[in-house]
Amino acid sequence: MQQFFEYSTEVREAMQAKKPVLALESTLITHGLPFPQNIETAMVVEQIARDHDVTPATIAIMQGKVKIGLSSSELETLVYDSQRVKASQRDIPYVLSMGLNAGTTVASTLFCAHHAGIKIFATGGIGGVHRGDDQDISADLIELSRTPLALVCAGAKAILDLSKTMELMETLSIPVVGYRTEYLPAFYSSTSPYSLPIKVDDLAALVKLLQAHWQLNLSAGMLIANPIPVEDEIPAEIIEPVISAALKKAEQQHIRGKAITPFLLNEVRLATQGQSLQTNIQLIKNNVKLGAELAKALGNLN
């Protein structure tokens, strides 16, 4: 497997020195955020990690290799490649064999980070169970159920069915931990009606919980739900009608599968005149900050 993996100099040196490394996904660059916010945010969140003495490892697939950490030129190539694709875990062999450039989803980033030996991953929001009756379920949850990473996020994307997503995570034995919250964050909003089974109030308690999880050799990862700061959120009563309208439009246009999430996020962005984009960027920064703090705290114990 390792013949497909290529590490940036920065990541390779950090791993050799046993310094903390934080995994970051790349679909926010290729499909999640528009230009130029995508490249600007990618650079900012990497710097947030470095400011905490943690090495960022943005993961992508490029020219037949799984890249663990991107150079600035590779990042630019990923941004400007009009033929880039979105790769979930199942797509990795095809993308590698065809030599394509791809942004990695949460699912594929989990897979790649785990096999690279990285234990902490920060993203915006995870996929889950989509609204409606067709049981459109993101591969993010399946991969998290069998990959023992700590995944820091702002809950599940608000475009999803949060209740069903929570139920499925329980079924898959994925522990969901609220960081300083008793309720599942809803991506753009800091809270939702759905209570969480576990709450921790500080980094030390989170580290202790993760260590116990890993020492038990449990197969699932741990979802760490980190609410967007209240001053940056869009309250649910404002964003929910916007999401409902976007879902109706997607249904009318028969948009399904991989295309649905980028379509909905773009529709919400347009309807909120860019406010949702700024909120999205702020929650990503907030999650990377916590992810870096966690990676550093765990690294100091080694």
Annotated binding site for substrate: 86, 106, 138-140
As given in the structure block, the two tokens for residue 292 are: 């870096």
Q: For residues 122 and 287, what is the distance between their CA atoms, to the nearest angstrom?
A: 6
267 half-sphere exposure, CB direction, 13 A CA radius: 22
Do residues 54 and 21 lie in contact, with contact meaning Cβ atoms separated by under 8 Å? Answer: yes
Listed residue (105, 102, 23, 27) closest to 57, CA to CA:
23
**From 25, 46, 233, 293, active-site residue:** 25
3-state secondary structure of 195: strand
Asked if residue 148 has a cis previous peptide bond (ω within 30° of 0), the answer is no
**From 157, 285, 289, 296, active-site residue:** 157
Annotated binding site for Mn(2+): 136
Spatial neighbors of 7 by CB under 8 A, at least 6 apart, are: 15, 68, 69, 116
Q: Active-site residue 249, yes or no?
A: no
As given in the structure block, the two tokens for residue 273 are: 């005149």
**Which amino acid, 234?**
I
CB burial of 49-62 (b: ≥16 within 10 Å; e: otherwise) equals beebebbbbbbbbb
As given in the structure block, the two tokens for residue 149 are: 């990473």
49 half-sphere exposure, CB direction, 13 A CA radius: 30
Torsion angles phi and psi, residue 198, rounded to 5: -135, 140
Q: Active-site residue 293, yes or no?
A: no
Annotated binding site: 86, 106, 136, 138-140
| Catalytic machinery residues | 25, 157
